[in-house]
Amino acid sequence: MDKDNISAQDSYFTFLMKPLNLGFTQLKNRIIMGSMHTGLEECWNGFHKLARFYEERAKGGVALIITGGFSPTFSGRLSLFSSQLSNFLQLAKHRKLVKAVHVYDTKICLQILHAGRYAYHPFAVSASAIKSPISPFAPKALTAKQIKKLINAYAHTAGLAKRAGYDGVEVMGSEGYLINQFICSNTNQRQDEWGGSFENRIRLSLEIIREIRRTVGENFIIIYRLSMLDLHKDGSSWSEIEQHAKAIEKAGATIINTGIGWHEVRIPTIATVVPDAAFTWVTKKLKQAVTIPLITSNRINSPEVAESCLQNGDADLVSMARPFLADSQFVLKAMQNQSHLINKCIACNQGCLDRVFKGQRATCLVNPRAAYEDEYPLVKSAQVKTIIIVGLGVAGLSCAYYAALRGHHVIAYDAGNLGGQFNLAGEIPGKEVYLDTVRYFEAQLSLLKVEVHRNYKIGIEELRDIYADAIVLATGVKPRKLDIQGFDHFSVMDYETAIKNKSTIKNKVAIIGAGGIGFDVAEMLITQNENNNDWYQKWSIDRSYKSRGGVLQDEVNLTGKDDTNSEHENARTVYLLQRKNEKLGKNLARTTGWIRRLSLRKAGVNMMSDISYEKIDDFGLHILHQGKKVTLAVDHVIVCAGQQSENSLYQQLGAIGQPVHIIGGAKKAAELDAETAIREGMVLAYDF
């Protein structure tokens, strides 16, 4: 069968590709690109770039796109300069965006989001004047008059969206934003008609839906994103969730979307450690209560998982956000039965959420073209060149892929197998998905007929005799050695050796170095055959939903802090050590670092700072801890104290007269960053 001509009817994923009739309109399949903020919404000329971003996903076959959040009022902005839609003068740029999407029979909805007490500015408002633990600004309590104006503001924004050509709106009622703050008793302590009883606390959401429906008429999609699992002890009970969903349907919503957790609660919901489709069970639980379509979401990153969710009756539609950053052609590849060619989201948050929280444009670690489609269009190079790439870690793989995609003749060598440091990362529990990135590049290089030489250590003599327009060195890194007495002791190993031989590691271990790799190795040592049920228990998630908020009441941590004491016994004694006198993991990523620190504390890992290393001998590791001598009686000392560039060929190649480029860890080992390495590979390929 010709895969290029496969239609939706020929796809293996029959449930995913089935259209959904909404009465007044139809979605061409069951896949939704969920809301995510890119930062382009606020950039100069950003809507032009945003249109290209959405256009590529629409061309890739997604049925419905939901934009990043736009506030209906100034006070509702996430930050002072965040997106807002409240003026007809703003419609022209929105129309360009909508037009770009509609060319491909894809629907698009504008998300309306009011930050409430999550606003990062002094004009924040909420149900009550209760400060959020994740914002420095205390909100003012909205008056009854202001609430009525706010309801009208939501409807006004929805009306503007309709004038701009949007097919609908999504009302953000979950994740702890304003509407959610009205619903839950811990953030709504009002005594008027907007507080007190549950009926009063859900009144705002219902009035917003009713007023939007009155404004836009019947033939317009209204999605309500309902917090189905608050994940904190004062959250809604299951009976209240059902009551709210039924009322939302009656108020005029077309579809209900699944929202999971509040941003301030320290339970992971979208990071790599979260199992695939970890929360679809809660959507399925609601299906019996309402008749309108339900969307399920969170950690669904492959067509196989998405198809299974629909086959199991978990939902009517599947929402994926970051997977469309990773691969704009996700739906088309699934339709053509080419899921092995999908660049799978690894849920690292590094290129997307971490960048957005720094005020930067979002992109994707595994797909650096994401949100940069305008700067890096998919066009062939004017001149075909021969490019030699030495080293096929992720930097080299990226360069080889993009160079071949642009039509160049690429010859690539690696002294081992493909993947480099990603192969090690894939051995860490919860990071197995990293190996899918390697498999993706491998499949693409095969498809693009790149000449790949594995287990081939090419030297200067051979390179001197090969013609090339350019040579790229992407030879990566090697573990750094330390100048400690006894470093050659049999108990000492570097992180690479430890990961490759993890089954041989005994029960008492000291890890030198508390950067990302040190945390990875510690996680590897304390996680033993953990299954999904263990994961729910570990993070206090009550799948029986007997408790409010869906959490085990005696264990939940709502403080937003990760300084809890050890909660569980572990078979191993693990010490994680660093020289600096500061919190371990201080420089880990903002959106995932707390998960990693809290995971180790829950497992009883001893995290120690302000360390000086004296010697290693048969008695163990001798240290000075805060000026006091301590001997750690351990079986192994694992060194995770950084890397050194493996660039021995670079100076030699500079003398042979051919253009030589160096990227990734070979260029700079300090603070090695896969996002930077993959981006460097792409940028260099576009320079050829």
- Give the CATH number, domain containing residue 160: 3.20.20.70
* Whether residue 519 has pLDDT greater than 70: yes
Q: Tell me whether residue 375 is in a domain.
A: no
Would you call 81 exposed, middle or buried from its count of C-beta atoms within 10 A (0-12, 13-18, 19+)?
Answer: exposed
What is the mean pLDDT of the segment spanning 496-500? Answer: 95
CA distances from 661 to 107, 473, 664 (A): 44, 6, 10
pLDDT of res. 461: 86
- Which CATH number does the domain housing residue 426 bear? 3.40.50.720
Contact 400, 445 (CB under 8 A): yes
Distance (Å, whole) CA 506 – CA 135: 43
Mean pLDDT check: name the lowest of 157-166, 232-241, 336-345, 580-589.
Answer: 580-589
Q: Are strands 107-112 and 26-27 parallel, antiparallel or unpaired?
A: unpaired
Q: Tell me whether residue 287 is in a domain.
A: yes
* Whether residue 527 has pLDDT greater than 90: no
Structure tokens at 572: 């191993």
The conformation of residue 336, written as its DSSP 8-state character, comes to T
Q: Which amino acid is at 138?
A: A
- Which CATH number does the domain housing residue 631 bear? 3.50.50.60
Q: Determine which one of 177, 402, 545, 613 is catalytic.
A: 177
Contact 209, 251 (CB under 8 A): yes
Enclosing H/E stretch for 386: strand 386-390
Question: What's the pLDDT band for 670 if we cut at 50, 70, 90?
Answer: confident
* Whether residue 566 has pLDDT greater than 70: no
Q: Nearest 5°: CA angle at 567, between 563 and 573?
A: 95
Structure tokens at 234: 């004062």
Q: Range of 306's domain?
A: 3-357
Convert the pLDDT of each residue in 183-217 to its tens digit: 999 999 999 999 999 999 999 999 999 999 999 99
What is the tally of structural domains in the chain?
3
Question: What's the pLDDT band for 560 if we cut at 50, 70, 90?
Answer: very low
Q: Nearest 5°: CA angle at 522, between 543 and 557?
A: 35
pLDDT of res. 595: 94
Distance (Å, whole) CA 266 – CA 56: 35
* Whether residue 564 has pLDDT greater than 50: no
Structure tokens at 159: 């009306």
* Whether residue 585 has pLDDT greater than 50: yes
Q: Tell me whether residue 376 is in a domain.
A: no
pLDDT of res. 44: 86
Contact 385, 688 (CB under 8 A): yes
Q: Same structural domain for residues 296 and 426?
A: no
pLDDT of res. 21: 97
Q: Same structural domain for residues 659 and 631?
A: no
pLDDT of res. 554: 58
Distance (Å, whole) CA 571 – CA 274: 23
Please name every residue paired with 152 in a beta bridge, in sequence order, or none if there are none: none
Convert the pLDDT of each residue in 288-326 to its tens digit: 999 999 999 999 999 999 999 999 999 999 999 999 999
Please name every residue paired with 174 in a beta bridge, in sequence order, or none if there are none: none
pLDDT of res. 565: 43
Q: Same structural domain for residues 473 and 338?
A: no
Distance (Å, whole) CA 492 – CA 623: 15
Q: Same structural domain for residues 120 and 222?
A: yes
What is the mean pLDDT of the segment spanning 83-112? Answer: 97
Q: Tell me whether residue 627 is in a domain.
A: yes
Question: Which of the listed residues 318, 342, 357 is the one where a domain comes to its end?
Answer: 357
Looking at the chain, the whole-number percentage of residues with pLDDT higher than 90 is 86
* Whether residue 532 has pLDDT greater than 70: no
Convert the pLDDT of each residue in 609-628 to its tens digit: 999 999 999 999 999 999 89
Distance (Å, whole) CA 26 – CA 105: 10
Q: Same structural domain for residues 278 and 292?
A: yes
* Whether residue 528 has pLDDT greater than 90: no
CA distances from 650 to 394, 467, 484, 680, 683 (A): 19, 17, 30, 17, 20
Contact 627, 614 (CB under 8 A): no
Q: Same structural domain for residues 682 and 630?
A: no
pLDDT of res. 647: 87
Question: What's the pLDDT band for 656 if we cut at 50, 70, 90?
Answer: low
Q: Same structural domain for residues 590 and 624?
A: yes
Q: Same structural domain for residues 147 and 296?
A: yes
Q: Tell me whether residue 485 is in a domain.
A: no
224 assigned to active site: no
Convert the pLDDT of each residue in 45-75 to its tens digit: 899 999 999 999 999 999 999 999 999 999 9
Q: Same structural domain for residues 177 and 86?
A: yes
Chain centroid, CA 398 distance in Å: 20
Please name every residue paired with 404 in a beta bridge, in sequence order, or none if there are none: none
Structure tokens at 437: 């990135």
pLDDT of res. 559: 45
pLDDT of res. 563: 47
Mean pLDDT check: name the lowest of 124-128, 148-152, 358-362, 450-454.
Answer: 358-362
Q: Cα(first)–Cα(last) distance of the chain, in Å?
A: 36
pTM of whole model > 0.85? Answer: yes
Helices marked H in 290-420: 303-311, 322-326, 330-335, 353-357, 394-405
Hey, which bits of 515-626 come out as E strands? 573-577, 606-608, 611-617, 620-625
Q: Tell me whether residue 539 is in a domain.
A: no
Q: Same structural domain for residues 455 and 333?
A: no
Hey, which bits of 212-309 come out as E strands? 221-229, 255-260, 294-296
Looking at the chain, the whole-number percentage of residues with pLDDT higher than 70 is 94
> What percent of the chain is helix, strand and coil (3-state, nearest 5)?
35, 20, 50
pLDDT of res. 107: 98
Name the phi and psi angles at 575, rounded to 5.
Answer: -110, 125
Enclosing H/E stretch for 508: strand 508-512
Contact 187, 130 (CB under 8 A): yes
* Whether residue 119 has pLDDT greater than 90: yes
Q: Same structural domain for residues 515 and 410?
A: no
Dihedral Cα 198, 289, 26, 28, nearest 10 deg:
110
Q: Same structural domain for residues 212 and 353?
A: yes
Closest CA to 227 of 297, 161, 158, 159: 297
pLDDT of res. 344: 97
Half-sphere exposure of 82 (CA within 13 A, CB side): 26
pLDDT of res. 673: 87
Contact 589, 673 (CB under 8 A): no
